[in-house]
């Protein structure tokens, strides 16, 4: 199994377990900058050099040795499950991707047909009933996660705890898990614990939101998308995420955490 989704600076100053839709583009660029004094030109997910990634074969033995010996500071970043699944819908289902196509080829037409989802026309920019379509997407997301039908769950809407756990199960330990909603505070804490070839001034770092502009803008407040049934589905899918990362299941309007993350609890519950 190894350490899928794990990135490490070439200087081995820090190790990061990517959780999709949780500021991963910005974090990757900060890591790249901390080694090279410049940002990667393009989407950091497309880089094939300058940053060790588990998806690059040559990086695997280095990441494995580092993680299992806990040689470097290791961290990840999480996000409120309500806003994360909404973001996945607008970006991946309604949006046109970097390559000018729909996400994963025939995925969107299949979801439109089987679940009656509208995505705002060919370019994702037409008016449509966002709330109705999103709630139907939620059924699809639940079916992929619970029953692996009509397909396996996608990394952008599978539970964060599943991503976070692979690092623990294979012998890694986290020093820090912080929230996207308190990004500056969390990332600054990481930077203060590591030595990097180039100093990072967090205040001057741009936000690399690679999904922005892919799809339609959210037309309503977050809570409007979730009625009682939708909240039940979200809890069914993301129960562990709410509990471990201390988010408020009762109130979709509150995106902020309601407690502190207990790393011992995360390691114990996700290391089983």
150 in a domain, yes or no? no
Three-state SS for the chain is CCCCCEEEECCCCEEEECCCCCCHHHHHHHHHHHHHCCCCCCCHHHCCCCEEECCCHHHHHHHHHHHHHCCCEEEEEECCHHHHHHHHHHHHHCCECCCCCECCCCHHHHHHHHHCCCCCCCCCCCCCCHHHHHHHHHHHHHHHHHHCCCCCCCCCCCCHHHHHHHHHHCCCCCCEEEEHHHHHHHHHHHHHCCCCCCCCCHHHCCCCCCCCCCCCCCCCCHHHHCCHHHHHHHHHHHHHHHHHCCCCCCCCCCCCCCCCCCHHHHHHHHCC
From the CB of residue 264, how many other CB atoms can be counted at a distance below 10 Å?
7
Rounded CA-CA distance 14/52 in Å is 11
139 in a domain, yes or no? no
214-232: b (≥16 Cβ within 10 Å) or e: bbbebeeebeebbeeebbe
What is the average pLDDT score of the chain? 94
pLDDT at residue number 211: 62
142 in a domain, yes or no? no
24 neighbors 183 (Cβ within 8 angstroms): no
pLDDT at residue number 212: 62
Q: Backbone dihedral region of 208: left (phi > 0), alpha (psi from -120 to 50 degrees) or beta?
A: beta
Give the tens place of pLDDT for each residue, 32-58. Answer: 999 999 999 999 999 999 999 999 999
Rounded CA-CA distance 243/261 in Å is 9
Share of the chain above pLDDT 90, in %: 87
Q: Given a cut of 70, is residue 236 above it in pLDDT?
A: yes
pLDDT at residue number 55: 97
pLDDT at residue number 266: 98
194 in a domain, yes or no? yes
Q: Which domain holds residue 75?
A: 1-100+157-218+238-272
228 in a domain, yes or no? no
174 neighbors 266 (Cβ within 8 angstroms): yes
Give the tens place of pLDDT for each residue, 196-217. Answer: 999 999 999 988 876 666 678 8
Q: Given a cut of 70, is residue 259 above it in pLDDT?
A: yes
138 in a domain, yes or no? no
Q: Given a cut of 90, is residue 1 above it in pLDDT?
A: no
Rounded CA-CA distance 23/79 in Å is 9
83 in a domain, yes or no? yes
Give the tens place of pLDDT for each residue, 95-128. Answer: 888 787 888 888 999 999 999 999 988 777 788 9
32 in a domain, yes or no? yes
Q: How many domains does the chain have?
A: 1
Rounded CA-CA distance 133/202 in Å is 37
Q: What is the mean pLDDT of residues 162-168?
A: 98
Q: Name the residue with tokens 């709410």.
A: 242
């Amino acid at each position: 199994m190894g350490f899928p989704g794990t990135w490490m600076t070439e200087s081995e100053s820090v190790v990061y377990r990517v959780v999709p839709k949780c500021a991963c583009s910005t974090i990757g660029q900060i890591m790249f900058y901390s080694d090279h004094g410049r940002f990667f030109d393009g989407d950091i997910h497309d880089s094939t050099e300058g940053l060790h990634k588990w998806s690059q074969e040559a990086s695997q033995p280095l990441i494995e040795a580092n993680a299992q010996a806990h040689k470097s500071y290791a961290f990840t970043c999480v996000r409120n499950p309500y806003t994360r699944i909404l973001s996945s819908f607008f970006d991946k289902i309604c949006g046109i991707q970097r390559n000018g196509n729909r996400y994963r080829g025939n995925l969107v037409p299949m979801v439109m047909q089987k679940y009656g989802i509208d995505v705002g026309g060919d370019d994702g920019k037409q008016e449509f009933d966002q709330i109705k379509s999103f709630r139907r997407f939620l059924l699809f997301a639940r079916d992929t996660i619970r029953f692996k039908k009509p397909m396996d769950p996608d990394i952008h809407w599978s539970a964060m705890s599943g991503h976070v756990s692979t690092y623990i199960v294979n012998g890694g330990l986290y020093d820090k898990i912080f929230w996207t909603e308190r990004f500056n505070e969390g990332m600054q804490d990481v930077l203060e614990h590591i030595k990097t070839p180039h100093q990072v001034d967090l205040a001057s770092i741009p936000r690399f939101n690679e999904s922005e502009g892919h799809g339609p803008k959210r037309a309503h407040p977050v809570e409007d998308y979730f009625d009682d049934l939708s909240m039940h589905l979200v809890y069914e899918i993301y129960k562990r995420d709410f509990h471990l990362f201390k988010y408020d299941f009762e109130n979709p309007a509150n995106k902020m955490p309601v407690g502190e993350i207990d790393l011992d609890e995360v390691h114990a519950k996700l290391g089983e």
